[in-house]
Chains A and B, each alone.
Chain A
Amino acid sequence: MKPVLRLLYGYFFAVPWLRWLSLAGVATLVLSALYLLFIAQPFAVQGLAVAGLMALFFGTALMPLMVGRLARSKQAALLPWGRARILLSALLTTAIVAFPLPLLGVIALMTVAPKATLEAAFYGNGNSLAQFLTTTFFWQMYVVCAWQCTSLYIVLWFATHERGVAGMLKSLLIPVAVLFVPPRFVRIDPTISLAWPLSLLLATWFLIVAYLLWWPRIAARLTRRFGGITATTSKGGRVASEVDLILELDRPWRFALAQSVPIAVAALFIREPAAWLFYLTIFGVIAGARAGRAAMLSRTLWLRSDADRRALFDRVEKAFWTHTGYQLAALIALMVAVGTFIDLPTRFLGAGIPLILLSGTTTMYLGLAMTRGIRFGDAVSAVALMLAAMSIALLAAKESTPLAAIAGIEAALAVATLALRALAVRRWSALDWSICRR
């Protein structure tokens, strides 16, 4: 048990920065539990609890990366019970992070919710309401929560570990599932069965275990049979320019096509315009996000060309415009297709197309401005930008918002983009490659 506890300590508290986030999360959650128990005002607590959960989750954000690295390392093969203990530590982390939400939920329902409403919704098959809440309801919520945490950790793992189309595709598919599958399973309904969410959770963990433990062997066997799938050079067609190759932008159509898979999957689930706009904005943001690596990759380019730093920026900017352009164009085409397919209002397209274009370009310039690794300020503005884009999406989809207001907000976003471009130009003219490592 000692090694597992030590690993848990590592995930929660050993990384500077994140350590304080975890601690703040724990403190906030304890505070909101106390608040619920003694003051009993759930609506004031809601925001606090969500903030605490987010803090705790992001405090352990590097857990997937560490587990992935450890579990697949050669050293783990030689640690006594190494892989089993590492996986157990990952499972326990998820179990711990998933725990506060159902706990707070049960406390909130027990202490504050108007009894009558609950009794009405509750069929009461001989069990008392309290008993139901502390057992079936708690476990329902816990299992769903654990599954959501697991999925989000997987997203984080893909985001921190894999790059390229495959990583992007995988990390995009999961939010769809997280956002739209599980809430069906949490209801205040004594007849609901735990079997579904539980088997979903178990299946997910089975896949994780299989991936970490057996995938390398299966992959080795597959490559043996089918030969390497690596580096198939593009034969014929457009030959990518050196700039694109160095910046890893040589196959824009692959990224553009990759988007269509999760969107097609989502088209089966999502009907509300607000959700669609929200979802597509995320894609727009992601389309621009690859620019975050531009500074690091551009060193080779600088060594090979006679461009000075300012001229280098122009070339890189042009390459990214082409690349992002492909993706955004594909995204808008998909948007129109989806709009016709499920009959969304034209207002949705009118507000949506500029929003997607803007969120893509804004993140692109934000990425280009990140020339010094991901620092605190950059990280905060990136998160703020994403949140802003998403809330604009939700706002724009509301029928009650006047179109002029949306236009105003989008104009503000355009100004922000120009400001970011100016910042990027200034930073690139004094680009220091020794500090733009990740």
Chain B
Amino acid sequence: MFQLNPHSGVPIYRQLCEQVRRMIAGGQLPAGAALPSVRDLAIEHAVNPMTISKAYSLLEAEGLLERHRGRPMTVASRPRLQAGPSQRLNALNSELDRLVLAARQLDLTPTEVIKALREKWEAADAGIRRRTGSR
């Protein structure tokens, strides 16, 4: 479900937070959806359980998750912070930083990168349409 990479410089709890935020914003985790328990997630990825619970607590404080007694955490029914486009874009920040770095190292101009990005986007759209059409 999540991809946690302990070797990256980004702390694991941040990686998890970021991914949960993205999946909520993108609708993959709808309101009321249950998240895996701290223990299960920790054993699955062989990471410290405290790291996972730290991420969950942060997300709870942000109003994205709800804690229930004796049951798994769920996605908040009405996220207190409605994810507006600017917030969602914020979640993409670190990916954009990386893209900009790579583009600079390749000595590409912003126009070229944006053009390539748009083409990718359209190809992906076409792919999605094909898949939904064939179903």
Complex: A in contact with B (CB within 8 Å): no
